[in-house]
Amino acid sequence: MPDQLLYAMEVTLNGLMAGVMYALVALGFVLIYKASGIFNYAQGVLALFAALTLVGIQQGQVPFAHVINAITGGHLESFGWQLPSILAILLTAGVMVVLAIVIEKLVLKHLVGQAEIILFMATIGLAYFLEGFGDVMWGADIKTLDVGLPQGINETLESVTDSLFGYGFFVDNLDIVAALVAVALVTALTLFSQYSKQGRALRAVADDHQAALSVGISLRFIWVLVWSIAGIVALVAGIMWGSKSGVQFSLSLIALKALPVLMLGGFTSIPGAIVGGLIIGMGEKLFEFFLGPLIGGATENWFAYVLALVFLVFRPQGLFGERIIERV
């Protein structure tokens, strides 16, 4: 088999793995959009805040330590414990649920019936607040996240492809774990959305807040529920991205890559988030591989947005999104 084709196959496989990582972030956006009809600008910051909190809890870091030390003149740094990864993840999930309750009580309940642009602006303010709050709470230094996930090249896949093609494919173990987790999340969330009472209520709230209230659906409960789930999805995304590249404040920018994923898959489709992520991940890697050298490289920075622009022109609702028809 020609070397160029083998390289393209390896690039395709790694692109699909990268797409899964994008899709993990996009899932949180879909959940919020289905419940409120708005693009949650704060989803990327939720992933950052969850990852920061997980590292802090796992390493026994004292919250607001440098603020306390600045006021008291002390040298408080750590409680002196190292929690098991599973316990730290469960405690962080609890923190994300509490955060969802606080967001609903302080922000969302005052915006019932407001225009979508008002809700969107609220998520922008929430994003900047959470980013600053996470900085003050846990510090701004780059942190290493290790919850025991396998990393490095998958030797089994490398040996199998080497025996089949005479060339071993290099795929990171962490990317494979992310793919398996994404499949499990999409399956669970799809079943929840389609077949549970709360999932049907969630779709009703997205269609019309006031109508949902008139038939006895608790809007406040639905918002707490969906923001809790979105927070836990953000935690999963934060674990994967933080384990891959470290927990740093640029982690919040992954939301920008999730936007074209949503445009392709559709803002209301949970499976669409995965399909959109796979298309973006594979497309940008193959485009860089074949055409990058001809046009100067660095095409991964803009390819996803150009592809999303094409979809906006020809299919604005995305591959799996619902076409909205308004009669006047």
Domains of the chain in start order, with CATH, are 1-314 (1.10.3470)
**Residue 34: band (very low, low, confident or very high) from pLDDT cuts 50, 70, 90:** confident
Give residue for tokens 């660095």: 298
Average pLDDT in the 28-48 region? 84
Cβ 44 vs Cβ 38: under 8 Å: no
User: Average pLDDT, stretch 135-151?
Assistant: 88
State residue 188's pLDDT score: 87
Contact 44, 250 (CB under 8 A): no
**Is the pLDDT assigned to residue 254 strictly greater than 80?**
no
**What mean pLDDT do residues 49-71 have?**
90
CB 247 within 8 A of CB 55: yes
Q: Is the pLDDT of residue 36 over 80?
A: no
With a pLDDT cut of 70, the percent of the chain lying above it is: 96
Q: How far apart are the first and last CA of the chain?
A: 59
Q: What pLDDT sits at residue 228? A: 92
State the pLDDT at residue 255.
75
Which positions ≥6 away from 172 have C-beta within 8 Å? Answer: 17, 151, 152, 153, 154, 244
Highest mean pLDDT among 85-99, 200-214, 252-266, 302-316: 85-99
Helix (H, G, I), strand (E, B) or coil at 315: coil
Name the average pLDDT for the chain.
85
pLDDT range class, residue 2, cuts 50, 70, 90? low
DSSP three-state, residue 172: strand
Given this model, what pLDDT does residue 327 score?
Answer: 52
